[in-house]
Structures are given as structure tokens and as C-alpha cells.
Amino acid sequence: MEPVTVDGKAFAPREGNSSQVDLRVNIGSLQLQNPVMTASGTFGYAREFEDFVNLQRLGAVVVKGISLSPRAGNPPPRVVETACGMLNAIGLENVGVERFISDKMPNLSVLGVPVIVNILGDSVEEYQEIARRLAEVESIAAIEVNISCPNVKKGGVAFGTDPQMAAAVTQAVKGVSRAPVIVKLSPNVTDISLMARAVAEAGADAVSLINTLIGMAIDLPTRRPRLANVIGGLSGPAIKPVALRMVYQVAQTVSIPVIGVGGIASADDALEFLLAGASAVQVGTANLVNPRTSEEVVAGISAYFRQHHIASVRDWIGALQVS
């Protein structure tokens, strides 16, 4: 078989069965069979999707953010649709780390798919304590640290907007975690590369981005905010251009793997994020619209690579042609 040249870059087709493509990627010490994950908070505890998705086909599932103590979440309304997107203010409702380990993990660990646990806290100590508890659970494939939360000890400034605080959280979690540590970056910053560099230097094994953009919606008839929480997080196709730009930017800044998130709803979307330099992607809001999306993205990437004779996803990652 001839090597295929695309815009001057040679893509070496894989030997042997040309209908097989190598989709494996590494996130720190974790090897995934393919680069497609689900995004935290949009895939429940995975079981909700068993009727729609063959979970074993996914690269990994990332579960809803877990805090030290259970949280009831925000009063409703918690979600509102916007143009090509949605705002959510779930308020990080979750069962807390203890019940997560006792009630949820046993179910999760038998699904045959790597489970990544998203965590959140109000202080460095809280993040660390959650990570310490999770380190006891062997079947956890990785920790994803959601740093978009406000630091209650530092006057409520979000960990995700201050490089020093983000580095401190990363270091604290990394220090106690057995599994690779992914730090999930907030897009609500002036320079996301700065944040990425800070957490990379603090020892993060990977970064994922983007979390939601902060937004708001107003109900004209009642003259009130449409979310009880007033503001919420914007996600969905509307934010894809912002996510893609930030992934491109960060992938050029840090050498650790970048996981692209934001508005991915199809294999084409995922392929674009990989081109921009992401080593893996997460499907978020699209799961809520079409619960089969994540598996369709895996299948679509395979089909595309077969059709275009791309032997390995590693040849594709970062292959964007910028003249």
C-alpha cells in the first residue's frame, strides 16, 4: 500500500488489515482504546445510557462532579435553552465522595469502560481529601479536577481563574492520587494558556478544556432571570468555536495531553478538535440531545480514518495545516 500524502504531510497506512485503525491514545499512564470520552455532568453515572450506548466501545466515561459532602444542588429552574446551546446551574448536586464510593463505584467498575471521576471542592484541602479517598478505589482510571469552583477560603475567587491557586490544587491532588490527574480548565479567563502552563508545571498529567462559559438568560414576561441561580454555564454547539480556539492555543503551549471539550456532537467535530491538537475529546451536551452521540463519534472517527487511510489517530492529532 502506498503512503498517502495529504497537504504535504505523509500519513503512513498501517500494515496488515487496512480496515483496522489504531485509535489508542495515552493520557498520562492511562491508555485508552480510543480518544472519545463523555463529559462530566452530561452522562449521569453511565448506567442511564446503557440502552443507547455500548459503553465498552467508549474511550472512557467521566462521571458527574463529586464533592466531599453530599450537595443538594440549586433550586429549579436549573436549565434553559439558548441559541444552539443551553445554560445549566445544577449547583453540583451529588451524593458526596463516601456514597459515591459505596453506592456508585461498584456499578461503574463493572461496565468495562475506564471510569474517570470528576471532583470539586471549596478549598485545596477539600480537593485533596476527596482525591485521598478516591485513591483507595482501584478501579478509578483517572481523576479530573474541576477547578471552576470558587475558593471559599480566598474570598470566592474561582480556582480556575488564578494560576497559583490552580497549581496548588493540582499539586495537592497529584500528591495523593494513584491515578493520573487531569485538570479541567475554565474558559472564563484572559489567558487559558497561562492556566494550562501553571497546572502542567504543578504536575498535571493532562488538561481538559473547556468547561462552560458563564452566561445568563432572562424571561421577559416575568422580568426575572430564567435560572434560579441567575447565572449558569453555557454549553453546546454555540461554544464550539471558543473551545476549538482554546484547545489549539493550549496544545501549542503545553506538552501534556490536551482533552478537547465543547460543543462536540459528531465525529467531524471530534476530528476537528484532534486536528487542533487534542489527544482526546469529551462529548457533553450532545449526550442530552442524542444519547447515542458518544458511540457514534467513535464509529465515525473509525470510518473516517479508514476512508482516508489514516492508520493511527496519533498521525492525526495536531495535524492542522496552518500556512
Ligand X SMILES: Cc1cc2nc3c(=O)[nH]c(=O)nc-3n(C[C@H](O)[C@H](O)[C@H](O)COP(=O)(O)O)c2cc1C
Could you say which of ligand X, another protein, a second copy, none residue 211 binds, taking C-beta under 5 to 8 angstroms by partner kind? ligand X
Closest distance to ligand X from the beta carbon of 7 (Å): 28
Q: Is 280 helix (H, G, I), strand (E, B) or coil?
A: strand
Of residues 219 through 248, those in contact with a second copy by CB under 8 A are: 220, 222-225, 230-231, 234, 236-242, 244-245, 248
Quick one: how many helices (H) and strands (E) in the chain? Answer: 10, 18
Q: Are 183 and 203 in contact (CB under 8 A)?
A: no
Could you say which of a second copy, ligand X, another protein, none residue 289 binds, taking C-beta under 5 to 8 angstroms by partner kind? another protein
Catalytic residue at 149?
Answer: yes
Q: Is 265 helix (H, G, I), strand (E, B) or coil?
A: coil
d(CA 272, CA 263): 11
Could you say which of ligand X, another protein, a second copy, none residue 11 binds, taking C-beta under 5 to 8 angstroms by partner kind? none
Determine the Cα angle at 313 with ends 33 and 59, to 5°: 25
Binder among 285, 293, 294, 302 for ligand X (CB under 6 A): 285
Helix (H) / strand (E) element for 231: namely strand 231-235
Q: Is 4 helix (H, G, I), strand (E, B) or coil?
A: strand
Residue among 119, 131, 149, 254 flagged as catalytic? 149
Binding pattern to another protein, positions 206-245, x when CB under 8 A?
Answer: ------------------------------xxx-------
151 touching ligand X, by CB under 6 A: no
64 touching ligand X, by CB under 6 A: yes
Q: Is 119 helix (H, G, I), strand (E, B) or coil?
A: strand
Q: Are 63 and 40 in contact (CB under 8 A)?
A: yes
Binder among 239, 270, 281, 310 for ligand X (CB under 6 A): 239
Write down the H helix ranges in 159-284.
Answer: 163-176, 192-201, 240-251, 267-275
d(CA 13, CA 27): 24
Q: Crossing angle, helix 192-201 and helix 240-251, to 10 degrees?
A: 50
Could you say which of a second copy, ligand X, another protein, none residue 125 binds, taking C-beta under 5 to 8 angstroms by partner kind? none
Binding pattern to ligand X, positions 163-192, x when CB under 6 A?
Answer: ---------------------x--------
110 touching a second copy, by CB under 8 A: no
297 vs 33, 51, 59, 66, 209, CA distance in Å? 14, 17, 11, 26, 18
Closest distance to ligand X from the beta carbon of 15 (Å): 35
- Only segment of 129-137, 152-160, 259-267, 298-306 that touches ligand X (CB under 6 A): 259-267
Q: Is 81 helix (H, G, I), strand (E, B) or coil?
A: strand
* DSSP code, position 312: B
Q: Are 64 and 41 in contact (CB under 8 A)?
A: yes
Q: Are 103 and 167 in contact (CB under 8 A)?
A: no
Could you say which of ligand X, a second copy, another protein, none residue 291 binds, taking C-beta under 5 to 8 angstroms by partner kind? another protein
Whether omega for the bond prior to residue 77 falls within 30 degrees of 0, making it cis, is: yes
Q: Using CB under 8 A, count the residues that bind another protein.
A: 38
Binder among 13, 114, 121, 215 for a second copy (CB under 8 A): 215
**Which residues bind to another protein, rule: CB under 8 A?**
41-44, 48-49, 51-52, 64, 72-86, 88, 90, 93, 236-238, 265, 285, 287-292
Catalytic positions: 149
**Which residues bind to a second copy, rule: CB under 8 A?**
6-7, 82-85, 87, 161, 188-191, 213-218, 220, 222-225, 230-231, 234, 236-242, 244-245, 248, 263, 268, 271-272, 275-276, 319-323
